[in-house]
């Protein structure tokens, strides 16, 4: 069963919004801690970026508007999930493409080895 994405976006009237998670705002970034059972899909509206994990779970995601950087913190490895499978898609006309050095290219996505602790993955626009 696919769960709906956890969008993050900014509105002039209401400020930053996130559905399905707890949002915190810092001086230079906004973070969301997903609270749904899947924790595998995220849409960052200002970046026009759709993030999907086929394996692994998002513990937190941070977006830095000034640089456009998206930082994902992934849950630790389990016996069933030793690696995350990350897909990043630009979904809007003005959206930027993102890259990461984490993991290796595999079948159109990135396979990222998970560790006993949380794993941090930085997505950089280009």
Compute the distance between CA of residue 24 and CA of residue 18 in angstroms, rounded to an integer: 10
Q: What is the pLDDT along the chain (126 residues), one digit of tens a residue?
A: 234 455 555 555 677 878 888 889 999 999 999 888 789 999 888 898 999 999 999 999 999 999 999 999 999 999 999 999 999 999 988 888 999 989 999 999 999 999 999 999 999 998
| pLDDT at 7 (0 to 100) | 55
Q: What is the pLDDT of residue 2?
A: 35
The pTM for the full model equals 0.88
**What are the b/e assignments for 57-87, b being 16+ CB within 10 Å?**
bbbbbbbeeeebbbbbebbebeeebebbbbe
Neighbour tally for 15: CB within 10 Å: 10
């Amino acid at each position: 069963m696919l769960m709906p994405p956890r969008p993050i976006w900014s509105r002039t009237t209401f400020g930053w919004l996130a559905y399905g998670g707890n949002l915190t705002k810092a001086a230079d970034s906004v973070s969301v801690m997903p609270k749904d059972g899947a924790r595998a899909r995220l849409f960052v509206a200002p970046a026009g970026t759709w993030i999907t994990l086929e394996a692994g779970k998002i513990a937190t995601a941070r977006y830095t508007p000034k640089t456009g950087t998206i930082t994902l913190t992934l849950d630790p490895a389990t016996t069933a999930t030793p690696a995350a499978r990350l897909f990043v898609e630009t979904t809007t006309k003005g959206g930027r493409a993102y890259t990461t050095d984490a993991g290796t290219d595999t079948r159109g996505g990135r396979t990222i080895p998970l560790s006993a602790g949380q794993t941090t993955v930085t997505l950089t626009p280009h």
